Structure formats: C-alpha cells, structure tokens
Structure 1
C-alpha cells in the first residue's frame, strides 16, 4: 500500500470499513510528521485491523491524552460516564478523597478522576491495580507523574492493607461480556486486547461479583463502588450489591450509550 496524501489515507481507511476515516486519517498524518514510509506502515496496519490507539500510542479520555500500548485494554469513550458519576459523588468543597482504580488497564479512569478532583482543590490519594503485567507497566507510565502507585495482583489482593475501610470512590471497569459473546466482539477488541479485560464469565458478571463482595469491606462508610454493565445485566448486578450490604443505584447516559451500577456502603451511625 502506498499512501501520501490525506485523501489517499481516507480512501484506504474507508475501504477497510473505518467509520471515522476522516478523523483517523488526520491523526495518522499528524503522528507521522511528514514521514511517508511510516505513514504507509501505520495505514497498512490500521487497514489490517490494529486499533488506532495502538498506532498512535495514546487515547483521548475526558480531554486528556493517556498512553496506551499493544496488549492493553483501550478505555472506551462511554466509560467517561463512569468517571463522571464517580466525581458527582464527591461533594463540592471536599478536601480529601481516597480513590482506587481497580482493573485499571492503562490507568485512564484513575488519572481522570484524580486530575479533575485536584482541579477542585481536593487532595486525592489514588491507588491503581491490575492483574495484567502489561497493563500495570502502562498504568505506571501514566500515573507515576502524579505520584500514584500501581500494584499488580488479583483485585483487592493487590491493594495495600491500610486502604481497607477507607476508599471513597472505587472505580472498577470490570469485564462484562459473557464468555459466549466474546467471539462477536469487533476484531479490534477480540484479536488485540487481552481476554482477561473482556471476558466476564457465563453471564458477564463473574468479576463484578468479586468486586462487590470486596467493596463491602474496603469502602469507607458512605463510599461508593462504580461499575459499567450492559443494560440487560442491571437487575442481577443490583441484587448482587444488595446481597453484600451495599445500596444499589443505576445511572444511564444516552449521550455516552453507557450504564453504570453504583453500590454505596452505609454511613455508620454515631
């Protein structure tokens, strides 16, 4: 494949089925900075199905460029709604907040939440964790500049013990695709992203159940866990939260095509 102009790239991407061919073409030209050989290579790889974000080395998330690398789950734009709902739960004027980004991937959710809370004048204690070593390395690149540690391990097992009972906002972008539906995912996800970040088990909620169980112990009184789900999973997810003593709430966003299930730990009586 030989491409040299914006129009050439647009035509190639359209032929490959890229819905936002014009936007992607502009980004690829900008990334290659006048290097025709590199442009040709990136376009060839994009046409073959490599996610655009892997080629660029970053994804835009809530107005920030967050580093990504091959083998790391690419945060979806709809997941910005999960962060939005988390931020809405921190009262204006709050001076401190403990935030955990569990199943953090590249760390985009925690980075966005911490950055926006800091802009409000709220001091954030942010910790992130993931079971995948590639994700942990990528998240460290993104979170080290804000002095947020990233740990590797299985859900709460990865977290420092002193966080138990202190987490105000628990962001958990758990996998929620039922195992039988993974094969139906777009090739960009199915063929390039880690299965552990996609496959949620028989009904898609296996990891969610484990997060809900742990959240009941790790959240601060009044703290909230937020998880993205499919619309057909809401009733089951809410029942799980109730089972573990958390008060459920469901938020939908038509703008983001997103559904978030929240579970709040009761405030301890005085």
Structure 2
C-alpha cells in the first residue's frame, strides 16, 4: 500500500522541492500554501502532522507548488496576505502590498489621531470664520433699518435658504458621510490595503479610494466588501481624483498615495518575482520615478483642506528631490522625509498651511 501524503510528508517534500528551485524561504512557502489549501492555520498544520490530505487538496497543492517553483509571488499563489490587522486578497494584475506601506498607514493614523477637536467641530459646530457669536446675550435695541439679533433657537425655526452655498452644503452633509467628520483621499489604491486599514482602524473615517486599473478597482471593491466596509470606503475608477465629486475637493484631511515610483533604469534590476509577475503600471514611475508624484503635488493643494496632510511612499533614492518639489510650491507649512524599517528614506509627509 502506498504511503499516504500526510501534512508532514507534504510539507517536507514541498520544502525540499522549492529549495532546489531557488525559493529563498522554502519552509515558509510550503506552510503558507498548505494553509491556503487545507484552511488550517500554520499552527494547526503542526497539530495535524499525521493527517492525510484529500485528493482534491493534493491536486490544489501540486498546482500551487508548480506556480511557486516557477517564481510566482507567494501572495498570488495563496491569493491573500496579512496587512496590519487585515487579511487582504491578492491577485495578478494588482500590486502586492509591502511591509513599508504599513508604516505609511501608521503615519496617517497618527495625524488623524491629533485631530479630535477638528473632527468634532466639523460635525457639530458651525464654521467659526463665518459665524459670529454675540457677546451680549440681551437683544439689541432696534433702530430704523437695523437688523435685530435673533437668538439661536429662533434662528433654527427660520426656513432654510432655497439655494445654500457650498460651505453650508458641506457642513450639512458631513454628519451623513461619517461619524467623526474625517475624510481621506487615497490615489492608486491597488488592493485597497491602505484605505481599508484606515477605515477599519479609525471607525467613522470616510475614505475615497481611486485607481486607474479596472482590475485594481474590482479587487479593492471585493476586499472592501469582505471586510464589511462598504459604508466607509468609496472605490472609484479614474485617473488621480478625476472621478471624485467636485464638492469634496478642498475638504480632505489627508491625501495619501503609494504611486508607481520605480525609476525606469531600476526596473531592469528588479527581481524576476517582481518584474515577471507584478503590473508595470503600478511599478514604473518614469525616468526619475516621480512622474505620478509631480501630478500628486499639483493635486494636493486642490484636494486638501488648510492644515491637511499629504503622505506619499516613494523610491528611496529620490526622496530629497521629491521634498524639494513640494517645498518649491507655496502653501506648505512643513515637509518631512521619513525612513522605513530598514532606515532607508521611504515616505514624504507634508502639511498644508493653516
């Protein structure tokens, strides 16, 4: 009788086969793929060492092994990956999220956490720049042709204007759009990992996420729906913010992006696992890697409110050049470069004046 293909035997055989075919982390790959096939966690695999696999599971595992041995990224083979607190679906034609992008999310969350007073005022209080509270609670004596002070409770009984201005419309709909009044615009959402992390970790924040790629928009939408975030995240297929409602521009607290940023000359140096499988549209940023970034620099003053944050992940060798592009534009209170986990320049954070 043939020896059964148990969990232990499959793991050991897969590890050896992948090692001979150039996988740098063959045990990890074997564990992830077998977890995806069996539905067991990596810990559960080791608790089920002697359990034989069903024929359908063996067939799926064989197909996964061949794909991985051919160099296909593990995230595409298993169809998912962990990103911060979420499990994100991954598919070919859409960029695989990187660990450093988790730090970009962390920077955005830190900025949003510093805005509780602004969030409350945007949903509950009128704009102080357009509303003057009377110092004297007593009604003023009326004079010919003079306006009388109307108490707030009396004002609330007046009929609404037939055609409210833009500012009034924005204040009115903030309560409908989110619980905390905070708004984030993400350009180039890919899998949706940034937008979904922000929305899930800061409940009540509304996120508009755009992407030019139909495949990315479809995947981000599926990831959004599987996380139960359909009310918090709007996914739009468009170039930059072309599909974002015009009355939202100028009201975003954050513009965040992980755009294509690999310089053309560096594209030829990418590992085959990246260059051979991940979409060039999401990787190549032009000669200096800043083609899309330059357009984002032009978008930021239009999209952000005064004091809003522009947060962007970029190629390590061109962060200072990117920072100078922002500094050369008026209206920025601060421009800062942040490092990733390997202490390489990775993120640009710029705050608008006001």
Q: What does residue range 118-267 of structure 1 map to in structure 2 within 5 Å?
A: 118=203, 123-144=204-225, 145-147=228-230, 148-245=233-330, 246=332, 247-254=334-341, 259-267=346-354
Matches of 2:309 and 2:110 in 1, distance apart? 11
Q: 2:12 aligns with which of 7, 10, 21?
A: 7
**Separation of aligned partners in 2, 1:6 and 1:258:** 38
Q: Which protein has the bigger strand share? A: 1
Question: Pairwise CA RMSD of aligned residues?
Answer: 1.7
Q: Which has the higher contact order (CA 8 A, sep 6+)?
A: 1
CA distance in 2, matches of 1:115, 1:193: 27
Corresponding residue of 1:58: 80
**Larger mean Cα displacement after TM superposition, 89-98 or 72-81:** 89-98
Spell out, residue by residue over 1:81-118, the C-alpha distance to the aligned partner (whole angstroms, 9 max, x if none).
11111111113545331012210001001111111112
State the secondary structure of the residue aligned to 1:5. helix
Task: Check whether the contact 1:200–1:207 (CA below 8 A) recurs between aligned residues.
Answer: yes
Three-state SS of the structure 2 residue aligned to 1:155 is: coil
Match of 2:177 in 1: none
Cα distance change on mapping 1:126 and 1:176 into 2, 3 Å: same
Could you tell me whether the CA contact under 8 Å between 1:54 and 1:70 is conserved in 2? yes
Unpaired runs of 5+ residues, structure 2, are 39-52, 120-179
Distance 1:106 1:263, change over 3 A: same
Corresponding residue of 1:22: 27
Deviation string 1:53-72 (CA, Å, 9 cap, x unpaired) is 11111121013101121111
Q: Is there any run of 5+ residues in structure 1 with no aligned partner, and where?
A: none
Distance 2:310 2:20 in 1: 42
Q: Secondary structure at the match of 2:22?
A: coil
Return the match for 2:107 from 79, 85, 93. Answer: 85
Instruction: Give, in whole Å, the separation in 1 of the partners of 2:97 and 2:247.
Output: 28
Residues 231, 255 of structure 1: alpha-carbon distance in 2 compared, 3 angstrom cutoff: closer
Aligned length: 261
Larger-gyration structure (1/2): 2
TM-score (normalizing by structure 1): 0.91
